[in-house]
Amino acid sequence: MILYPAIDLKDGCCVRLKKGDFDQKTVYFENPVETALMWQNMGGEFLHLVDLDGAKDGISKNVAVIEGIVKALNIPVELGGGIRSMEQLERYFSMGVERAILGTAALKNPEFVRSAVQKYGDKIAVGIDAKDGAVAVSGWLEVSDTDAVTFAKEMEQIGVKHIIYTDIDTDGMMCGPNLKGLSAMVNAVPTVGIISSGGVASQKDLECIQKTGAAGAIIGKALYQKTINLTEAVNALKG
């Protein structure tokens, strides 16, 4: 299982939110490039990068910062947040982003996902953010009527190979992941690698996620509040 240290960008800074609430924002570092290098130096294998401004508004204010992070790192970067066109995909891939995460666009325009997968293959991931089992979009400001597992199956049929599954009620709360929801997702789409996001607070949480068969786990607030040491976590899962 791959561990993904997370950086959430807002107004060029590295922040964390509680349950996706933009009014509950904590700024941890003002230099995201230095933060990314820190996670790489501690053994991070793949960086998870979210453009919160893009997710909320559909317009990124962080393109220069994203490019700076990608150019500074030797490890791959996956990026999500407000990616809603083939032009944006081309722009991010041309600057070196390894994997692009489609969220709102995937739900509202499945044909866009289909076209993206046809062109870019497994460089395309879909983010499924769930609240009470339903898919939330637009920076989690809008909850749809679409069942998360049903949507995952639709994405699998399109050919998506990576899904980032986030349980909104646990995100940023450090109360443990929603293992029931995660297990249901892993079992529903056997040809897709499920990356768990939300709620991780301890090494034990990571071990529980690994037991579900998830392909990866994203760690955010637990790293910033130092309840998990990334180097130790990576080594423990390999051991």
3-state SS class at 107: helix
Choose, from 51, 53, 57, 129, the residue flagged as catalytic.
129
Strand partners, 50: 8, 80
First to last CA, the chain: 11
Active site (annotated) includes residue 8? yes
Question: Which of these, 225, 186, 189, lies nearest to 209 by C-alpha position?
Answer: 186
Alpha helices (H) in the chain, listed in sequence order: 32-41, 52-57, 63-72, 86-94, 104-108, 110-120, 148-158, 179-188, 203-211, 221-224, 230-238
Distance, CA of 75 to CA of 45 (rounded, Å): 6
Cα angle value 56/168/44 (rounded, 5°)? 85
Active site (annotated) includes residue 147? no
Which residues are annotated as catalytic? 8, 129
